[in-house]
Amino acid sequence: MLTATPTDRVWRALADPTRRSLLDVLARRPHTTAELVERFPDLCRTGVMKHLDVLEEAGLLMVRREGRVRWNRMNAMPIQRIYDRWVSKHVRGMASAASRFKEHVESSHKPKTRRKGRDR
């Protein structure tokens, strides 16, 4: 992927379940790399670091070095961005499609005992 846009890097970063898991952990509080490695026993340290690199490239992770430790902190802004720019319109679209469908069903069914209004 030679020409990845910032948005694209976010989507790709989120595509991996391990990375989403890492973000779940980091959402609670910042962790050092060693702490994260300890929390993901299925991966070797190098593997964890690679995931962290991807997250950092996507802007989802902020790194601060402090002596010999490295603090990894989550940044949720890019998630907000993909929501605002893409997810939201398809979620809203669905809501309206669903309500159209509901209306369609209700109007074609013509329940005799029930008025068309929202009586629920």
Partner DNA sequence: GCAACATGTCACTATCTGGTGACATGTTGA
Partner DNA sequence: TCAACATGTCACCAGATAGTGACATGTTGC
What is the smallest separation between the CB atom of 67 and a second copy, expressed in angstroms? 26
Pick one of DNA, a second copy, none as the site partner of residue 25 (Cβ within 5 to 8 A by kind).
none
Stretch that binds DNA, among 65-73, 88-96, 98-106, 110-118 (CB under 7 A): 65-73
- Amino acid identity, residue 44? C
Q: Where are the beta strands (DSSP E) in 1-120?
A: 31-32, 61-66, 69-74
Does position 2 interact with DNA (CB under 7 A)? The reply is yes
Query: Dihedral (C-alpha) 88, 91, 97, 99: value to the nearest 10 degrees?
Result: -100
What is the smallest separation between the CB atom of 32 and a second copy, expressed in angstroms? 20
Pick one of DNA, a second copy, none as the site partner of residue 30 (Cβ within 5 to 8 A by kind).
none
* 55 touches 61 (CB < 8 A): yes
List binders of a second copy among 25-84 (CB under 8 A): 27, 76-77, 79-80, 82-84
Q: From CA 97, how far away is CA 95, in angstroms rounded?
A: 5
Whole-number CA gyration radius for the chain: 22
Pick one of a second copy, DNA, none as the site partner of residue 99 (Cβ within 5 to 8 A by kind).
a second copy
Q: From CA 64, how far away is CA 114, in angstroms rounded?
A: 62
The contact set with DNA (CB under 7 A) reads 1-2, 12, 15-16, 18, 32-34, 37, 42-47, 49-51, 54, 63, 65-70
